């Protein structure tokens, strides 16, 4: 899952999988042993406060600063990065988007 629209980087958030663990980019393990499991992922991107939060099954697993930018969008799916596998799959259901009104 990615939130695009950072500045000067292309993304504000990237969640990646390596060896069965879910990472914030490559630096912090968010959730271990995710293969063949359903889990609830909630991401809050508070642009005004320059903050990003990641929740797994209702538990806060990561909180950090945003990466700037003025226009953002997200994508869910499988993207080949370094150390990719010949077999990659992700499944998503009940995706909801909420926007704070002013």
21 domain-assigned: yes
Domain count for the chain: 1
- Residue 34 counted as domain residue: yes
Asked whether residue 22 is assigned to any structural domain, the reply reads yes
pTM of the model: 0.83
Question: Tokens standing for 19?
Answer: 């060896």
- Residue 14 inside a domain? The answer is yes
Evaluate whether residue 95 is within a structural domain: no
**Mean per-residue pLDDT pooled into runs of 10, the chain (102 residues):** 84 87 87 90 89 94 88 80 73 84 70
The verdict on residue 37 lying in a domain is yes
Domain that holds residue 60: 2-75
């Amino acid at each position: 899952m990615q939130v695009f629209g950072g500045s000067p980087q292309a993304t504000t958030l990237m969640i990646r999988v390596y060896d069965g663990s879910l990472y914030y980019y490559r630096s912090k393990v968010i959730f271990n042993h995710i293969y063949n499991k359903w889990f609830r992922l909630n991401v809050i991107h508070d642009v005004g406060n320059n903050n990003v939060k990641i929740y797994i099954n209702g538990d806060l697993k990561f909180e950090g600063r945003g990466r700037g930018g003025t226009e953002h969008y997200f994508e869910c799916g499988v993207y080949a990065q370094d150390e990719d596998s010949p077999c990659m799959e992700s499944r998503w259901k009940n995706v909801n988007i909420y926007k704070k009104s002013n």
